[in-house]
Amino acid sequence: MNTQVIVLNGGSSSGKTGISRCLQAILPTPWITLGVDDLVARLPPSLTASGSGIAIGERGEVEVGAEFRRIESAWTAGIAAMARAGARVIIDDVFLGGGASQERTRGRLAGLEVLWAGVRCEAETAAARELARGDRVVGMAAAQADSVHEGVVYDVEVDSAKSEALDCARAIAALVN
């Protein structure tokens, strides 16, 4: 079976978006990129200002509530439906719960051919990128750099602090069938 979904997991500012763009450029067939940032950007204000949705603390800590999890589940089910209908999808995600997050995602993508890719980036490099971006709460990147990978099993891991996005994408693309 051919790869239908690529899941990129890494902390904030780890380079997932750049890698996904490079994957879109080098893979021989069209791929759609959807990420957790897309989901969060489309949430109603009621879910970004309440305990049931998603909240970002002063030091970059992220807290999610039951309503966010419900919507996230529907979002991922929708992505899975797209893949089942023939779209190839790259998911740009942040597994806040490490292995537990992967298991939730794995369950929603059941029956699909998924390539799991870890995007590692040392905390200092991610923090510098975060500061340069200017659109993140300072501290988020360092807090997530290692924790999002705890208990997660990958088919491939890349290090965006040591390799350019294109080289990371090439390593991932080499496993896409």
Each residue of 48-57: pLDDT tens digit? 876 679 988 8
Residue 144 burial by CB count (10 A; 0-12/13-18/19+): exposed, middle or buried? buried
Tell me the β-bridge partners of 5. Answer: 89, 114
Low-confidence ranges of the chain (pLDDT < 50): none
Residue type, 93: D
Q: Residue 149 is encoded by which pair of tokens?
A: 């990978």
Q: What is the pLDDT of residue 137?
A: 83
Instruction: Name the DSSP class of 41.
Output: H
Question: Which CATH number is associated with domain 5-40+74-173?
Answer: 3.40.50.300
Q: Give 74's contacts (C-beta < 8 A, 6+ positions apart).
A: none
Q: What is the pLDDT of residues 124-159, one digit of tens each?
A: 999 999 999 888 889 999 999 999 999 999 999 999
Instruction: Name the DSSP class of 35.
Output: E
Q: What is the pLDDT of residue 50?
A: 67
Q: What is the pLDDT of residue 136?
A: 80
Domain extents in the chain:
5-40+74-173
Where do we find the tokens 């590692």?
A: 120
Torsion sign, CA atoms 130, 141, 124, 9: negative
> What residues act catalytically?
37
Reported pTM:
0.95
